[in-house]
Amino acid sequence: MAVPTFVDRVTLHVAAGRGGNGVASVHREKFKPLGGPDGGNGGPGGSVILRVDPQITTLVDYHHSPKRRAEHGGHGAGAHRNGGHGADLVLPVPDGTVVSLKDGTVLADLVGAGTEMVIAQGGRGGLGNAALASSKRKAPGFALLGEPGDELDIVLELKVVADIGLVGFPSAGKSSLIAAVSRARPKIADYPFTTLVPNLGVVTAGEVTFTVADVPGLIEGASEGRGLGHDFLRHIERCAAIVHVIDTATIEPGRNPVDDLDVIENELSRYGGLEDRPRLVALNKTDVPDGSDLADITIEDLRARGLTVIPVSAASGAGLRELTFAMAKIVEAARAAKPVVESQRIVLRPPAADGGDDFTIKATSEGWRVRGTKPERWVRQTDFSNDEAVGFLADRLNRLGVEDRLVKLGAEEGDTVLIGHPDNSVVFDFKPGMEAGAEMLGRRGEDQRFEESRPAAQRRRAIDELMDDRGENETRADVARRLDRPGGPMSYEIGTSEDPDWLEDDPGE
């Protein structure tokens, strides 16, 4: 299997580092066993950053290693020691790299040395109990968890930043032309499709220095995937001008310079986006007698179309000076009209799909779904094995107004409330009036508000008990409806001696 040396499109999985957890700690020393909370904060996770590096010309490294992850943040510690910051992961990319999602949504176009983009933001570190202490909660017995970093699949697509693009049929002499006007040394042979990847050369004409790139394997039908041109046409999208390199000494029957020009122009038109680029026509191989005669015959027809036509020979050098200065003139005009691109650091902040910092509540078949940046972040930071931490979450949601909004929308005690994306949401039973108001008395890590059984939990247990004795065609929904009818189990406390006699009846009757 051949190992590619030039890769211009890759799918990359990037993952930022997770934030470190905060710690719950109490300061202790001799004769002072309870010196107050001193738990440190967790450090933020490292971010994944794309940075344009002029020394990089291919995406082959990411072809071989398509998964990249930044460092996690360090956990906090006692004595007010904060966790370390996770190191950012900087990924160098070539100049002219387009970053997009797998669905085709373009995120950024990275042009200019040093331009950066934060493609995956590191997770926040969790607060320690020292940072959570307040006048109402003097000694928190909990800390917040670190948030996970962003994780996504992106597509990196390289579009070579060249000033002039050479297009033409295979073996028209594009590689020879680049070798003749620059120091580039591409592979040159006398068979079609010798060039398998775009060649790039630097050309100097007077005081203007510019780059020239060719599109290999452009033939009729390239816009539909024939040949190699379809894969590399993107590399001339940034060019200031297009130069048609036409073979005047071809031995293929039925070909002539005018028809070749029409075929290539048709493919460029079908590809789209190149209609406004200036055109030059280089009639190559005029050192061959038949080629010189054919160039003389067709040059006036081409100029009648308003094209600048220059007979050249990559082998003898004839016409190359005139061609390079014609290209330099176009490049100089394009640069003068183009604003200067400065290096910039781009922070990716896509539109929030969760309601933003505020929140939204929507009634669904599963329950009341709450979406919002703050509620979802707070849920991710909560240690649900610690009742005091869950109580702190309830207080935060109440202060944000989630409880009041639920009541206004008609939510009743015991209703199911889901916070977060449907694929990864946290489920609660709605119980209004959960705000503590002051520090709860009890052992650290406990919250007396969560000691009593919740109505929704009682109802689920009652349904589970009746499911074993349900009728032959009775579903769980039928059992739930029977459970809710007047005089049913939900009108008394489950598990007490007050259970009505009808629970012992045959459910099929």
List pLDDT tens digits, range 91-105: 999 888 999 999 989
| Same-domain pairing of 448 and 467 | no
Q: Which of 134, 158, 182 lies at the terminal end of a domain, its last residue? A: 158
Residue 466 CB coordination number (10 Å): 20
From residue 185, how far is each of 176, 198, 202, 320 by CA, in Å?
9, 12, 11, 17
Q: Is the pLDDT of residue 449 over 80?
A: no
Q: What is the extent of the structural domain holding 445?
A: 359-452
| Same-domain pairing of 198 and 219 | yes
Segment 491-495 mean pLDDT: 45
Q: Residue 482 — very low, low, confident or very high, per pLDDT cuts 50/70/90? A: confident
* 437: region left, alpha or beta (phi > 0 left; psi from -120 to 50 alpha): left
Binding-site positions for GTP read: 168-175, 193-197, 214-217, 284-287, 313-315
**Amino acid 340: pLDDT:** 67
**Are the beta carbons of 143 and 75 closer than 8 angstroms?**
no
Tell how strand 9-15 and strand 67-69 pair up. parallel
| Same-domain pairing of 367 and 446 | yes
Q: Is the pLDDT of residue 502 over 50?
A: no
| Same-domain pairing of 2 and 70 | yes
Binding-site positions for Mg(2+) read: 175, 195
**Amino acid 217: pLDDT:** 62
From residue 283, how far is each of 255, 302, 314, 409, 504 by CA, in Å?
14, 10, 10, 75, 99
In a domain, 264, yes or no: yes
Segment 279-292 mean pLDDT: 87
User: What is the Cα gyration radius of the chain?
Assistant: 35
List pLDDT tens digits, range 396-420: 898 888 988 999 999 888 899 999 8
Q: Which of 136, 158, 180 lies at the terminal end of a domain, its last residue? A: 158
Contacts of 332 (CB under 8 A, 6+ apart): 208
Task: Read off the amino acid at residue 317.
Answer: G
Q: Residue 451 — very low, low, confident or very high, per pLDDT cuts 50/70/90? A: low
**Amino acid 264: pLDDT:** 85
Q: Is the pLDDT of residue 186 over 60?
A: no
Environment class of 304 (CB within 10 Å of its CB; exposed 0-12, middle 13-18, buried 19+): exposed
> Whole-angstrom Cα distance, residue 194 to residue 37?
72
In a domain, 342, yes or no: no
| Same-domain pairing of 217 and 122 | no
| Same-domain pairing of 328 and 477 | no
Residue 243 CA, chain-centre distance (Å), reads 36
Q: Is the pLDDT of residue 11 over 90?
A: yes
Q: Is the pLDDT of residue 281 over 80?
A: yes
In a domain, 302, yes or no: yes
> Whole-angstrom Cα distance, residue 492 to residue 484?
11
In a domain, 388, yes or no: yes
State how many domains the chain has: 4
Task: Read off the amino acid at residue 430.
Answer: F
In a domain, 344, yes or no: no
| Same-domain pairing of 100 and 41 | yes
pTM of the complete model: 0.69
In a domain, 347, yes or no: no
- CATH code of residue 293: 3.40.50.300
| Same-domain pairing of 181 and 316 | yes
| Same-domain pairing of 477 and 425 | no
Eight-state DSSP code of residue 29: B
In a domain, 343, yes or no: no
Eight-state DSSP code of residue 491: G
Rounded (5°) CA angle 215-217-221: 105
Segment 150-159 mean pLDDT: 92
> Whole-angstrom Cα distance, residue 170 to residue 258?
16
**φ and ψ at residue 238, rounded to 5 degrees:** -95, 0
Q: Residue 505 — very low, low, confident or very high, per pLDDT cuts 50/70/90? A: very low
| Same-domain pairing of 305 and 332 | yes
- CATH code of residue 95: 2.70.210.12
| Same-domain pairing of 286 and 218 | yes
Q: Is the pLDDT of residue 223 over 90?
A: no
If one compares 480 and 149, the residue with the highest pLDDT of the two is 149
| Same-domain pairing of 448 and 461 | no
Q: Is the pLDDT of residue 354 over 70?
A: no
List pLDDT tens digits, range 45-63: 999 999 999 888 788 899 8
Q: In the chain, what percentage of residues exceed pLDDT 90?
A: 27
Q: Which of 138, 158, 178 lies at the terminal end of a domain, its last residue? A: 158
- Directed axis angle between helix 257-271 and helix 289-303, to 10°? 60
Binding-site positions read: 168-175, 193-197, 214-217, 284-287, 313-315
Secondary structure class of 308 (helix, strand, coil)? strand
Q: Indicate the average pLDDT of the chain.
A: 81
In a domain, 398, yes or no: yes
> Whole-angstrom Cα distance, residue 61 to residue 92?
10
> Whole-angstrom Cα distance, residue 466 to residue 471?
10
- CATH code of residue 399: 3.30.300.350
Scan for tokens 């009728």, then name that residue.
471
